[in-house]
Amino acid sequence: MSFLAESLSRIKPSATMAVTQLARDLTAQGRDIIGLGAGEPDFDTPDNIKRAAIAAIERGETKYTPVDGIPELKQAICAKFKRENGLDYTPAQISVAPGGKPIIYNAMMATLNPGDEVIIPTPYWVSYPDIVLLGGGKPVFVDTSIDTGFRMTAEALEAAITPRTKWLIFNSPSNPSGAAYSAADLKRLTDVLLRHPDVWILSDDMYEHLLYDDMQFATPAQVEPKLYDRTLTMNGVSKAYAMTGWRIGYAGGPEILIKAMAKIMTQSTSNPSSVSQWAAVEALNGTQDFIPERAKVFE
């Protein structure tokens, strides 16, 4: 009998982490390497955010915090969602975790039963299906093509939904394709989802600020408010604020789901870093002027 859990046989190591570590190893050997693994900005974390972290340390903000986020950060996240996305959340509807990946993991672990299906458009971020598999679910892939700009069509989404479908994991702008959905694109998808009241939506908005050609960002619960009560809208500070190592992801959603995710955190990660949380407060509440400037550099 194997000592290791059978569930490990269902997943593979993160290809992102493997490629990123290989790039680090080659760089350490003196090679000039362009890393195309992790989605990590080249910029440094802005100075005002660093100063906020130092100030937090100096005033002793180094203890345990509430498991899914300090009140100050939850308030800053609520303000961000309202300011940038037109979404109204209370602090009780906000989950803060050590990165976006734990947000997805906690949501899947809190909701999936064996055999539940999760729709994932292709190409996809490498961790989505493995997190679903860890939760006992079944990834259902919906192919996209260059003909549609690697965007999932309403017809393809409709065809993928079955009585076992529990979630759609949606990512715009997409990692890795870069495909972005306009509000009109999203409306066609949300019209499908309105016809299937048992399907929930996890919207991964991590790349929200990397949009070009005057395209305006849109997210499902914003485009179709009737889906608000079954949408988990996820974001974080890693991409927009160059804070990948600080490990702060967050999400807004129905309180019943947020409480269930917190329950899992009480027995797994506990709270995210207290210092990182205070840095994230400054990131969200402080100046945002540098974000479009940095996005322009990537263009």
6 assigned to some structural domain? no
170 assigned to some structural domain? yes
CB 95 within 8 A of CB 262: yes
Whichever domain contains 107, its CATH number is 3.40.640.10
For the chain, the straight-line distance linking the first and the last C-alpha, in angstroms and rounded, comes to: 53
Name 64's Cβ contacts closer than 8 Å, sequence gap at least 6.
270, 271, 274
CB 216 within 8 A of CB 183: yes
Q: What is the pLDDT of residues 199-239, one digit of tens each?
A: 999 999 999 999 998 899 999 999 999 999 999 999 999 99
16 assigned to some structural domain? no
DSSP string, 72-124: HHHHHHHHHIIIII-----GGGEEEESSHHHHHHHHHHHH--TT-EEEEESS-
97 assigned to some structural domain? yes
23 assigned to some structural domain? no
Total domain count for the chain? Answer: 1
74 assigned to some structural domain? yes
207 assigned to some structural domain? yes
Q: What is the pLDDT of residues 114-152, one digit of tens each?
A: 999 999 999 999 999 999 999 999 999 999 999 999 999
CB 278 within 8 A of CB 61: yes
pTM for the model = 0.93
10 assigned to some structural domain? no
Report how far residue 233's alpha carbon sits from residue 202's, in angstroms, rounded to the nearest whole number. 6
Report how far residue 125's alpha carbon sits from residue 102's, in angstroms, rounded to the nearest whole number. 14
- Residue span of the structural domain in which 278 resides: 45-298
In the sheet with 231-236, reading across from the earlier edge strand, the strands are 94-97, 249-252, 231-236, 200-204, 165-171, 117-121, 138-142
pLDDT per residue rounded down to tens, the chain (299 residues): 789 988 888 888 777 777 778 877 888 898 987 777 777 788 999 999 999 999 999 999 999 999 999 999 999 999 999 999 999 999 999 999 999 999 999 999 999 999 999 999 999 999 999 999 999 999 999 999 999 999 999 999 999 999 999 999 999 999 999 999 999 999 999 999 999 999 999 999 999 999 998 899 999 999 999 999 999 999 999 999 999 999 999 999 999 999 999 999 999 999 999 999 999 999 999 999 999 999 988 87
